[in-house]
Amino acid sequence: MNKLEDKQIQDRLKAKGNLPRHIAIIMDGNGRWARMRGLDRIEGHRAGRESVRDVVRACGELGIEVLTLYAFSVENWRRPRREVWALMRLLRDTLYEEVEELDRNNVRLIAIGRLDELPKTSREALFWAMKRTKDNTGLMLNLALNYGGRVEIVDAVRRILEGGYRPEDVDEAVFSAHLYTAGLPDPDLLIRTSGELRVSNFLLWQMAYTEIWVTDVLWPDFRRKHLYQAIEAYQRRERRFGMTSEQLRRGDGGGR
C-alpha cells in the first residue's frame, strides 16, 4: 500500500464519522508464525514488533483515542521459563528503543495489570517510558502487562472493600472506577489475530458491548491494511446496546 492509497483509505474511514474511540487487540499467533518458519518462538515475538509499530502509527494518524494491546497475561508466566524471560527482555528493550518515536508522534504510553510483579528491569523501563510520554495528547497506547480480566475484577473488589463502601452504594459506575481502566472508555472494537474465537481473560468487564473482529492473519503479518478492514467492518455494524433497530432510528437515547 503506497502513501496515497493509505491516505485515501484513512480519509474514507474518517468521513464515515463513526470511528471507534477505543480499539483493543489480542496479538495472537507469534509462536505459530515462528514454528512455520522453523524459528524459535521468541523470533515470532520479535517479528511482532513491526506489527505493533505499524498499528500504533495508523491509529495515531486516524485519531483513535485509545489502543490497548494484550502484551502479557497473568497466565503467560506458565510458559517455559526461557521464553518468559526472553519476553521480559524484549519488553524492556522495545520500550527503550521505541519511546523516541512514541514521543515524537505525541503518543502517551500507559499500562494496566499487576505491574509491581514485573521484573525490576522491565518495570523500570516501563515507568520511564510512561513518564517520558505522560504529557502527550495524541493516541493513548495502553499495554496490558501481567494482566488478567479476572484478577482485575478481584483487585477492584478488594479496593472497594478497602474503601469502606456500603453494598447499596456500589453500582456499575463505582465498580468501573476501581478497575485498572478507570477513566478510559470501554473498547468499541476488539481485534483478535490468528483465528482463535475466544477472549482469553481480556477486559472481561469492559467488553460487555464491544464489537469483535477476528482474522486468520497471524500477528507478525498483521499490518494497517488489516486494521482498516476491521474498522470498516465495525463501521457497518449497528450497535444497539439492548435496544431495537427501530429505537435507534427514532433516536430514543441509549448508547454507551
For the segment 95-133, what is each residue's pLDDT rounded down to a tens digit? 999 999 999 999 999 999 999 999 999 999 999 999 999
The parent domain of residue 135 ranges over: 22-234
Taking alpha carbons only, the member of 223, 189, 172 closest to residue 58 is 223
Q: Are 74 and 153 in contact (CB under 8 A)?
A: no
User: To 5 degrees, how large is the angle CA 229–CA 25–CA 86?
Assistant: 130
Output the CA torsion sign for 58, 61, 63, 66: positive
Backbone angles phi, psi at 38, to 5 degrees: 70, 30
Q: What is the pLDDT of residues 184-193, one digit of tens each?
A: 999 999 999 9
pLDDT at 248: 63
Residue 37 inside a domain? The answer is yes
CA distance 163 to 200: 30
pLDDT at 246: 74
Catalytic residue among 40, 54, 76, 155: 76
Residue 6 inside a domain? The answer is no
Verify whether residue 6 is a known catalytic residue. no
| Percent of the chain topping pLDDT 70 | 95
pLDDT reading at 153 higher than 60:
yes
Query: For all residues of the chain together, what is the average pLDDT?
Result: 95
pLDDT reading at 151 higher than 90:
yes
Residue 59 inside a domain? The answer is yes
CATH number of the structural domain spanning residue 56? 3.40.1180.10
CA dihedral 256, 176, 182, 18 (to 10 degrees): -10
Centre a 10 Å sphere on the Cβ of residue 191 and count the other Cβ atoms it contains.
26
Residue 248 inside a domain? The answer is no
Q: Are 99 and 132 in contact (CB under 8 A)?
A: yes
Residue 240 inside a domain? The answer is no
- How many structural domains does the chain have? 1
Residue 249 inside a domain? The answer is no
Verify whether residue 28 is a known catalytic residue. yes
Residue 4 inside a domain? The answer is no
Strands 22-26 and 189-192: parallel
Residue 254 inside a domain? The answer is no
| Percent of the chain topping pLDDT 90 | 92
